[in-house]
Amino acid sequence: MADLTTLNVQFSISLIIIAIGYLLKRAKIVDKDGGGKSLARIIFNVTLPAVILRTLTRIQMDVAMIAMPFLAFLITAIVFTSAFFIHKAEPVKQRRGQYIMMSMGYNVGNFAFPLISGVFGDDGLKYAAMFDVGNAFVIFLFCYILAVVYSTKEGERVQPKIIIRKVVTSPPLLSYTIGVILNTLGLRFPEFFSNTGDTGVLDIIAKANTFITFLVLGIYLDFKLDKAYWRNLLKVIVTRYVIGIGLGIAFFLILPVNIMARTILLVCYILPVGMGLLVFVVQFGYDEKFAGMLSNLMNVISFGLIWVILVVLSIA
């Protein structure tokens, strides 16, 4: 576990970068529709894949890492079942689908990676990366199917070819696949691309991920909340956090694996909604305002919760 000083320093740095992003937006130097989206694409297509490849090719696999994707599937099954019954009475099909869909999927790469990397380094990042393997399949496969099924757009139907193409061409998912294969075969990148001194091409690109990610979080930060959405926002938020905290604490206490793996699992279970879901919201005509408010609220709540949990564990 990280010491309290390291933890507080890392969270303070993160807050400062988020504040810079927010101030840049307020000063109209960048905006979320222009610069924000461009930076988000750079994260998704460049810096995040670099972090994944760098991490997975340096680590030694263990039982806890292998279990992580299945633990991501497990919480998805529980959350989906709960959300389905909680929102069953919602008369509007599209809203019901959005609430169920946005109860699942976690923002591991864009939210957890920078924090975990700063606090725990590669020792913690490897568990988050393997959790995100399962989480990526949940978002790009299961949640995509839900987005199509509940969409009110004419002619929308589940098309296996499109789903397969989305999964296969996702840069982070491709990076996970390549990284796991290379690790299993015992292969490593040449020194020019990645080395212990962190001076390789992948290393330098990966280092940029933390700054750009928190900058984007600040750019997208918005404190404007519509009261008309509160009831359904709270339903989704309570569903995610009650199940996430409850299951995370239970596994922290009973899983027969090292404390690092249990801590990272607990952190992953209380992360905000996955960014991929916001793309589906736009693509299939769901309520963008609701999705934006949910994302903003959960970013703030998760940041605070993770800090509290890690402080408590560090003191304990």
| Nearest partner of 220 among 48, 9, 22, 72, judged by Cα | 22
Determine, yes or no, domain membership for 316. Answer: no
Comparing 232-236, 267-271, 276-280, the range with the smallest average pLDDT is 276-280
Q: Are 298 and 237 in contact (CB under 8 A)?
A: yes
For 26, residues 6+ apart whose C-beta sits below 8 A from its C-beta are none
* Inside any domain, residue 81: yes
Distance (Å) of CA 195 to CA 169, 219, 232: 27, 33, 48
Please name the residues in contact with 239: beta carbons below 8 A apart, sequence gap of 6 or more: 79, 82, 83, 86, 103
Confidence of residue 279 (pLDDT cuts 50, 70, 90): confident
Residue 164 has pLDDT above 80, yes or no: no
Instruction: Encode pLDDT of 120-130 as tens digits.
Output: 988 899 999 99
AA letter at 199: T
> Pick from 46, 4, 57, 88: which is nearest to 204 by CA?
46
CA–CA separation, 122 and 59 (whole Å): 8
Give the orientation angle of helix 288-315 with respect to helix 4-26, to 10 degrees: 160
Residue 2: band (very low, low, confident or very high) from pLDDT cuts 50, 70, 90: low
Report which of residues 197 and 15 the model is more confident about: 15
Region 197-202: mean pLDDT is 88
Name the residue type at position 280: F
Neighbours of 215 (CB within 10 A): 22
Question: Within a domain: residue 88?
Answer: yes
Distance CA 295, CA 315 (A): 30
Between 201 and 275, the more confident residue is: 201
For residues 256-268, give the mean pLDDT. Answer: 95
45: nearest Cα among 34, 33, 53: 53
Q: How is residue 135 written in tokens?
A: 């989480």
**103 within a domain of the structure (yes/no):** yes
Q: Identity (one letter) of the amino acid at 131?
A: F
Q: How many domains does the chain have?
A: 1
Is residue 37 assigned to a domain? yes
Contact between 286 and 89 (Cβ < 8 Å): no
Measured between its terminal Cα atoms, the distance across the chain in Å is 10
With a cut of 70, say whether residue 158 has pLDDT above it.
Answer: no
pLDDT band at 104 (very low <50, low <70, confident <90, very high): very high
Look at residue 128 in the predicted model and tell me its pLDDT.
94
Residue 315 resides in a domain: no
For residues 16 and 289, the model is more confident at 16
In a domain, 83, yes or no: yes
Percent of the chain with pLDDT over 70: 97
pLDDT in tens, 58-83: 888 889 999 999 999 999 999 999 99
Q: Is the dihedral of CA 32, 36, 38, 42 positive or negative?
A: negative
Question: Which residues, listed in sequence order, are joined to residue 106 by a DSSP beta bridge?
Answer: 273
Q: How many residues does the chain have?
A: 316
Yes or no: say if 151 and 284 are a contact pair by the CB < 8 Å rule.
yes
Confidence of residue 155 (pLDDT cuts 50, 70, 90): low
Question: Does residue 114 form part of some domain?
Answer: yes
Range of the domain at 228: 4-310
Over range 29-39, report the average pLDDT: 81
Measured in degrees and rounded to the nearest 5, phi and psi for residue 273 equal -65, 140
Give 39's pLDDT tier (boundaries 50, 70, 90): confident
Question: In CATH, what number is assigned to the domain containing residue 41?
Answer: 1.20.1530.20
Q: What does the pLDDT read at residue 156? A: 59
Q: What is the mean pLDDT of residues 163-191?
A: 84
| Confidence label for 97 from pLDDT (cuts 50, 70 and 90) | very high
pTM: 0.90
pLDDT tens-digit readout, 302-316: 999 999 999 998 875
Distance CA 57, CA 288 (A): 38
